[in-house]
Chains A and B, each alone.
Chain A
């Protein structure tokens, strides 16, 4: 299904990429890559005729003449320094143009219990886990990422390790000379009883079109807990996919803050595979101009006694559009499931649009599941309350919006990061002293 020039070009790029992998051509991962490329060939880029892409048109995005194989990887100092919400003591994992750059990444003192490697240098046991849970059968972008996944980064958190320093994954893209289609890839394994926080941030330099198509796999072993903060404020278009497989009593806690970017599509899947697992998804999207922010989440309750909680807030101004598609899927036998989901949107402009589709698909009876979705403007009575106390209309609006955004940003559990992010949000919403 060749629906576009880029489609053919990327497949040609893949062929070229394959040639460079001398010797490794029959390795298991290479076989997976080839399958993924084949899948991408068959799927083509998604069109709005597909239910999953109904409100998100990627066609304007893929008309550029991207390369998936940039000629040179610039040094890290070509890129701006990490923003100040990233703690100074953070372990920094740097990917440039989608490729893990170990030279820049490893800190002087690696915290005990954290192992960082790349797809080709990691141990065989880990190699065999990579690519197993992120399904690319019906997502062309995930297939594409898998096909080009080579210098992916691997994070291994040892059993019983409590990594107190946040691990920051920085994705840098260089679009100075040519249009680039980067495919960063990450694999995280959290050992039993381990704890870690991960901050993801990306930045792009240059004026050429950039499309960052990232994918993450996380395997959370028994009783582990992962806190995952995704801060999206990039000039590049972003398509992300993540899949978390959770063992018994594990916790996955994700906060996605989409503050910038003209096109963002996030697809997150949490698979609660054993009893006692718990997943939390929090999301905030600030839309302005003609931006499109699309969050697709799926919580797959595959085992009994699991819990999930999801809360997404949108503030949409100008001609921005947000899409929320949240699915709670309770499999047969997943009794005693508690699942909650909420999606709230404030439309600030007559030209902003929200397309929300909260879904429940439930095949077990002893469950408590609910979802709620609302869309509207700021509450008149709250505004009046503030106005009657002598607060200007502008300030009152800003206060209310800030409070609405803070419902999500307050979920960040790293103190300094939370404060700095809150400052950024306040600035964007004009709620400053």
Chain B
């Protein structure tokens, strides 16, 4: 009972908690996008020539592309020349060698977010790569991971120091020409996390990246690349927040995951970008391309996402099931309130034999928000005995919101079994009545039911995130109940 009351306290007082702005001296690129800006970013990162060429190619591709309009979201056209494509905290030129050297203001920022970098160093458990605006500011536990041969560092560092691996894999899962936002990201991505787990290594701790937008009028374009070699395992967490601002800010990330034979990667996201205020003013436009490839046999990629933030979410983490017997999973809770719009789902491409995929998507819409599930399950002719099960449930709270389901099922193999089911409803009055009758107030009952409704997905989250995620859920639904 107590926990429920606590949740309600959060509900009552729960506004967006991470809306503060840190006063960190920053270096911001002039607004607008051109080849010069791309060159500048590349130069700032001291990148090799091939990387610059790759970026420029992506940029030229992007120029010829049009923004996708098929998603069930509406927003004023983004002026891509009114965004600054690079912002970095202006600290000492040389990267900090240890955490003690990190700018104290920076450290305070992450402390406020509940990501104490120092603390993390002491209590073992999670290795964190902290990314503020465009650059990675700190990565913890590097040495310990290094001993196992695991490379966990910022993307820019990886490009400089592990150029061969990056060159081999970057763009191999999400090619720069994949879509409008992926092309933009490929041209201007500033940082992100890079993770390489060598053959046979089971990563002993959760790897985590924390993304924070701080600077004004900037876009954040991070790129993450995770590679698990044969038999390797990694669990990766991603969290994100941004200050409260009246203007919309753009976030266009790309995440690529490669799982070789017998490897397993679990990717969990708690997305809590600033969602805008009650009138729908401000908030982050979140246009993300995430894709994993099960390259080798018996590999597995699992996406778990809790989406509570962002004014607009456009995100379809997918898995290409190329290796025989490979497994793809997608667990999602998407909560929208006020004027938020979310169009999210997954793509499962069955290519190998005996490939399996499972999709569980739970949407909750409240206020005047719109929440769409959009997914594709494609079974190629080659995917003998492929198996898919999808379940998409939507819960509606209030009469002004919308919940939509757009699943695409393309099956071209007779031995494949594909199942999809979706339901949409509000919380049953009989269930609420049952709770009321037993002395549980309507608000408490809703919190109880919503938590139960999402349990299947929440159970997939690592401990560290599960607590935060279930608290976020209640906060996001603040004011929508009763």
Partners in one complex: yes
Residue positions of A touching B, CB distance < 8 A = 51, 332-333, 335, 345, 347-377
Contact A374–B420 (Cβ < 8 Å):
yes
Kindly state the separation between the CA atoms of A359 and B404 in the bound complex, as whole angstroms. 7
**Does B470 sit at the interface, judged by CB under 8 A?**
no
Contact B409–A332 (Cβ < 8 Å):
no
A79 to B: closest C-beta gap in Å = 38
Total chain B interface residues with beta-carbon distance under 8 A: 36
Q: List 29 A-B contacts (CB under 8 A).
A: A332-B399, A333-B399, A348-B414, A349-B414, A350-B414, A350-B415, A353-B411, A354-B410, A355-B410, A357-B408, A357-B409, A358-B407, A360-B394, A362-B404, A363-B401, A364-B399, A365-B401, A367-B396, A367-B425, A370-B421, A370-B422, A370-B423, A370-B424, A371-B421, A373-B407, A373-B409, A373-B418, A375-B411, A377-B414
**Does B406 sit at the interface, judged by CB under 8 A?**
yes
Enumerate chain A residues within 8 angstroms of B282, measured Cβ to Cβ: none
A371 and B422 in contact (CB under 8 A), knowing A364-B399, A376-B417?
A: yes
Enumerate chain A residues within 8 angstroms of B426, measured Cβ to Cβ: 365-367
Contact A376–B402 (Cβ < 8 Å):
no
Task: Kindly identify which residue among A357, A363, A373 contacts B406, using a CB–CB cutoff of 8 Å.
Answer: A357
Kindly state the separation between the CA atoms of A126 and B284 in the bound complex, as whole angstroms. 53
The 3 closest A-B pairs by CB, nearest first: A376-B417, A365-B396, A347-B414
Task: Kindly identify which residue among A358, A364, A377 contacts B420, using a CB–CB cutoff of 8 Å.
Answer: A358
**Does B413 sit at the interface, judged by CB under 8 A?**
yes
Enumerate chain A residues within 8 angstroms of B419, measured Cβ to Cβ: 372-376
**Does B403 sit at the interface, judged by CB under 8 A?**
yes
Contact B411–A372 (Cβ < 8 Å):
no
Enumerate chain B residues within 8 angstroms of A347, measured Cβ to Cβ: 411, 413-414, 416
Kindly state the separation between the CA atoms of A352 and B416 in the bound complex, as whole angstroms. 12
A50 to B: closest C-beta gap in Å = 11
**Does B75 sit at the interface, judged by CB under 8 A?**
no
Kindly state the separation between the CA atoms of A374 and B407 in the bound complex, as whole angstroms. 12
Contact A360–B414 (Cβ < 8 Å):
no
Kindly state the separation between the CA atoms of A14 and B400 in the bound complex, as whole angstroms. 46
Kindly state the separation between the CA atoms of A362 and B394 in the bound complex, as whole angstroms. 10
Chain B contact surface mostly: strand
Kindly state the separation between the CA atoms of A361 and B403 in the bound complex, as whole angstroms. 6
Enumerate chain A residues within 8 angstroms of B379, measured Cβ to Cβ: 375
Q: How many A-B residue pairs have CB under 8 A?
A: 122
**Does B412 sit at the interface, judged by CB under 8 A?**
yes
Nearest B-chain residue to A353, judged by Cβ: B412
Contact A375–B416 (Cβ < 8 Å):
yes
Enumerate chain B residues within 8 angstroms of A373, measured Cβ to Cβ: 407, 409, 418-421
Kindly state the separation between the CA atoms of A352 and B424 in the bound complex, as whole angstroms. 31
Nearest B-chain residue to A352, judged by Cβ: B414
B98 to A: closest C-beta gap in Å = 53
Nearest B-chain residue to A329, judged by Cβ: B404
Kindly state the separation between the CA atoms of A350 and B416 in the bound complex, as whole angstroms. 10
Contact B422–A365 (Cβ < 8 Å):
no
**Does B232 sit at the interface, judged by CB under 8 A?**
no
Nearest A-chain residue to B366, judged by Cβ: A365
Enumerate chain B residues within 8 angstroms of A371, measured Cβ to Cβ: 405, 420-422
Kindly state the separation between the CA atoms of A362 and B400 in the bound complex, as whole angstroms. 10
Kindly state the separation between the CA atoms of A365 and B394 in the bound complex, as whole angstroms. 10
Nearest B-chain residue to A370, judged by Cβ: B423
Residue among B399, B416, B417, B424 with most chain A CB within 10 A: B424
Contact A372–B421 (Cβ < 8 Å):
yes
Enumerate chain B residues within 8 angstroms of A345, measured Cβ to Cβ: 411
A369 and B420 in contact (CB under 8 A), knowing A335-B399, A347-B411, A362-B396?
A: no
Enumerate chain A residues within 8 angstroms of B400, measured Cβ to Cβ: 332
Contact A360–B409 (Cβ < 8 Å):
no
**Does B117 sit at the interface, judged by CB under 8 A?**
no
Enumerate chain B residues within 8 angstroms of A376, measured Cβ to Cβ: 414, 416-419
B251 to A: closest C-beta gap in Å = 27
**Does B50 sit at the interface, judged by CB under 8 A?**
no
Enumerate chain B residues within 8 angstroms of A369, measured Cβ to Cβ: 423-425
